[in-house]
A and B are shown apart, each in its own frame.
Chain A
Amino acid sequence: MKKLINSPETVVQDELAGLAAAHPDLVRVDFTNQIVVRADAPVVGKVGLVSGGGSGHEPLHGGFVGRGMLDAACPGAVFTSPVPDQMLAATRAVNGGAGVLHIVKNYTGDVLNFEMAAELAQADNIQVASVTIDDDVAVKDSLYTAGRRGVGATVLAEKIAGAAAAAGTPLERVADLCRKVNTNARSMGMALTSCTVPAAGKPTFELGDDEMEIGIGIHGEPGRTRMKLAPAASIAEMLLSPILEDLPFRSGDTVLAFVNGMGGTPLIELYVMYNEFARILKGKGITISRNLVGSYITSLEMAGCSVTLLKLDDELTQLWDAPVHTPALRWRA
């Protein structure tokens, strides 16, 4: 294992210390509770937004704490859900009296821990709403699974719900908007390589030099199928087809296209992929009116990418365009 770390045991704290040192104007880190909190939290009268999950997906979630997005993030150990204590501390820290929204990616661990935290916060008389993000079309049959995983749509939901909260929107409405993003977004990912959890010290799975895994999750969990590497154009087809069929997206739709790197893929390849996605969508009569290209929800050093499409209307577009200033996402602010 070759990583820029001091030790597997301290990697998460060391990263959080770096985040705090780099962005003191935006965030503070509470090391006792292991949470990242917006520097000026709680903002009185504003709905607080809390998300969290295992570490290893940076910049998600800590990099999205700041103005116009999340108020707090709860990082767990690498690929391991945080614990209810962290979520409760975060909920208390950002409660400005207007209630707190928990944005939860649909993984059993995250869901169970956030469930326990919401029960504890309600016992504290803090109003909590929860939205579970489950946009990954790679998971086929939701009746016989833990349900679809929460992946790329999480970034979009945090931005859009964050903009709504910043505008003074009440809790239930912010939660509805967050659900609206989830309902209208679909994602699919692929991997060229595995990743190595620092504490495990070896790759989570083996993938041959000439192989790729389609439908990969963001924790190195295997995907739908493994096959021989193909040109970017065919990979783009394999990722987009199930997304387009699922919602479905139709000719005349306007979308936000989010092309995400898994952590070990350079921008040159992400733009190659963006070009292929744009070509396919144009052929289907679907207009990309907004896009995001870069590594925003990663899987350590895994090489690969995911694509998320979000069907846009005026409301979602305006919230997407609203000012945001966080360590990892910033515009008009």
Chain B
Amino acid sequence: MAADRVCILAWLRRSAEVLHEQRDYLTTLDAAIGDADHGINMDRGFTAVMDKLPSVAEADIGTILKTVGTTLVSTVGGASGPLYGTAFLRAGTALAGRQELQPADIVTGLEAALEGIKARGHAQVGEKTMVDALSPAVEALKVAVASGESLEEALYAAGAAAEAGMQATIPLVATKGRASYLGERSADHQDPGATSVTLLLRAALNGK
């Protein structure tokens, strides 16, 4: 089964709802090891995305994703603005002109997003960042798609892998971003960026 533009728009809408609902949760996670603004910033960014989407509702999926990217860069601020913005811009570029996505295309898009985040943030797995959730999610999605699982099953696997990656950030000592200023004291806290990545991937299932 493929995902068309309607699915993508539903996912984005569901993402905005989830980020709004989880705004205080993300901000509380960020207060422990960062600067207490992640939920506020993501909510602001996706609210702006919702305002912007009607203008591209008839466009191809690549254009929709690129519009999300530029909107996030322009409205989120912090580190997550350029990082999420770059992720959506890269995914949109990789999927330029597409009207619907086969499971393999979703792998392509998410791989491009992951590479964008790693390049912009100079981060690798294990540094207590968004990458710790997104990287295993991409791997799980790739494996599921290659073994011929349905899109829903593959997305479920990706969401579960992201969640495991997110939980695995708890004992980690941060070496990137503001949490790294805490050194050892950043351990025992779940990374807010890995958490928002997980929320977005989980929203893909609910949004279908």
Asked if residues A149 and B37 are in contact (CB atoms below 8 Å), the reply is: no
| Cβ–Cβ < 8 Å partners of B167 in chain A | none
Measured as residues with beta carbon below 8 angstroms from the partner, the interface class of chain A is 35 or more
Contact present for A145 and B180 (CB under 8 Å) = yes
Q: Give A84 to B71 CA distance when docked, in angstroms.
A: 11
Known: A77-B40, A80-B77, A144-B175. A200 touches B183 (CB 8 A): no
- Is A82 in contact with chain B by the CB < 8 A criterion? yes
Q: Which of B71-90 contact A (CB under 8 A)?
A: 73-83
Give the contacting residue for B176; candidates A146, A149, A221; CB below 8 A.
A146
How distant is the Cα of A82 from the Cα of B181 in the complex, in angstroms?
Answer: 21
Q: Is the CB of A113 closer than 8 A to any CB of chain B? A: yes
Contacts of A254 in B (CB 8 A): none
Q: In the bound complex, what is the Cα–Cα distance between A199 and B181 (angstroms)? A: 23
Task: Report the separation of the CA atoms of residues A235 and B133 in the bound assembly, to the nearest whole angstrom.
Answer: 41
Q: How far is the CA of A200 from the CA of B109 in the complex (A)?
A: 34
A219 within 8 A of B: yes
A291 within 8 A of B: no
Known: A146-B177, A220-B35. A77 touches B79 (CB 8 A): no
Minimum CB–CB distance for B56 against chain A, Å: 18
Q: Which residue of B lies closest to A116 (CB)?
A: B82
Residue from the list B35, B78, B81 in contact with A221, Cβ < 8 A: B35
> What distance in Å separates the Cβ of A142 from its nearest Cβ neighbour in chain B?
10
Identify the closest chain B residue to A204 (Cβ). Answer: B36
Q: Which residues of A contact B81 (CB under 8 A)?
A: 81, 83, 109, 112-113
Query: How would residues 20 to 55 of chain B score, 1 for a CB under 8 Å from any chain A CB and 0 otherwise?
Result: 000000010001001111001100100000000000
| 12 A-B pairs whose Cβ atoms sit less than 8 Å apart in the complex | A77-B77, A80-B40, A83-B73, A83-B75, A108-B177, A139-B181, A146-B180, A200-B27, A200-B31, A217-B181, A219-B178, A221-B181
Given A140-B183, A146-B180, list of 6 further CB < 8 A pairs? A79-B37, A80-B77, A197-B36, A197-B40, A200-B40, A220-B36
| Residues of B in contact with A (beta carbons under 8 Å apart) | 27, 31, 34-37, 40-41, 44, 73-83, 120-121, 173, 175-178, 180-183, 185
Spell out A's residues near B (CB within 8 Å): 54, 76-85, 107-109, 112-113, 115-116, 138-141, 144-146, 149, 197, 199-200, 204-205, 217, 219-222
Considering the complex of A and B, which 3 residue pairs feature the smallest CB-CB distances, nearest first?
A145-B180, A112-B82, A109-B78
